[in-house]
Amino acid sequence: MSPLVIKYISIGLLLNLLFAAELFSQESGPDNVRLMFYNTENLFDTVDDTLKDDDEFLPEGSRRWNLKRYNSKINALYKTIVAAGGWKPPAVIALCEIEKRSVLEDLVYDTFLMKYNYGIIHEESPDPRGIDVCMIYDRNVISLIDYCYWIPGKDSGVEFSSRSILYARLLVRSDTLHLIVNHWPSRRGGVLAGEGTRLGLAKLIMAKADSINRQSHSEAKIIIMGDFNCTPGDQELSPFTAPADNLSIFVNFSAKPAERGEGTYRYMGTWEMIDQVFVSRSLIKSSNGIISDETGFKVFKPDFLLKRDPVYPGFSPFATYRGYKYQAGFSDHLPVLLDLGFN
């Protein structure tokens, strides 16, 4: 058994004590299936990959990323996942900003998560920094039917470059769920930066969703989730919710919490809901099998994921870094959760 596993076993009871009250208030209940999306804020290992632009996350790099910091990051993510589960960790955990499969394996197999029989879905994306979109799933609850990655520019017929989009077809208690996981280009350089690319990604996903419906010969149950790097009212997301004559019309479960001032990312003192969940109307109105509604969505924001902002009033996500200053935190994003029920 590795020292890392021994370390997690030794803190297991302590974690249970520390988060017992938190878990009770967040629990999803034994009959629900919980999904989670989390931008992990640069989960890199400490090994140089000559095919990726990962130099800043090396021991000699600008962030002085080393094994101690890496292990602390794995611990932080494990702790968040366990706390987000309630009765047990979420059945599906979609992640972004993951460098490679091996860091996922460290998270799943070298922590207490190893007892939950998680499977891993991961492939390298064309992102120059090497950060990927991926997923782990509890094989005792979820069966993987198949999956693929849609590569923008290749799958859309439109020339643009972005991270791959993960599509997974899952069996949840004999019902089929289609899950689409995203990490869209950022708005660095201003709100309009990357707007055209993000709109192109939305149109690509809608075309794929239409195809899923046609192949299903019915209204398929589809969830679109991820870090969209835009907020619910931005036009890039309008293809998901605009009225149309097709079946691929979605409801943004993140929109109402955003109107109340909630968010997953804080920019210059203002919360922004850039990590979002869209659910097809067929899943909402389902009379058989899995079902969900807006009450099943929440931003997961326990106290330990927050830190008092040193510049603006209030709290911000307790990030691993603030600028280039290491804080030993969790992530600069908060996770989002969605509970599925059953008819």
Q: Tell me the C-alpha distance between 41 and 97, whole Å.
A: 6
Structural domains of the chain, ranges and CATH numbers in brackets = 3-341 (3.60.10.10)
Which of helix, strand or coil describes residue 326?
strand
Half-sphere exposure of 136 (CA within 13 A, CB side): 26
Which of helix, strand or coil describes residue 28?
coil
Q: What is the DSSP string of 134-189?
A: EEEEETTTEEEEEEEEE-TTTSSSS------EEEEEEEETTEEEEEEEEEPPP-TT
* Closest C-alpha to 23, from 74, 89, 76: 89
Position 12, amino acid: G
* Closest C-alpha to 133, from 161, 156, 167, 108: 167
Each residue's pLDDT tens digit in the chain (343 positions)? 555 554 544 444 444 434 443 443 445 556 899 999 999 999 999 999 888 889 999 999 999 999 999 999 999 999 999 999 987 899 999 999 999 999 999 999 999 999 999 999 999 988 888 899 999 999 999 999 999 999 876 655 555 556 899 999 999 999 999 999 999 998 754 444 478 888 889 999 999 999 998 898 778 999 999 999 999 999 999 999 877 655 448 999 999 999 999 999 999 999 999 999 999 999 999 989 999 999 999 999 999 999 999 999 999 999 999 999 999 999 999 999 999 999 8
What pTM value is reported for the model? 0.89
Question: Are 189 and 250 a contacting pair, CB within 8 Å?
Answer: no
- Check the CA dihedral 211-216-220-223 and report its sign: negative
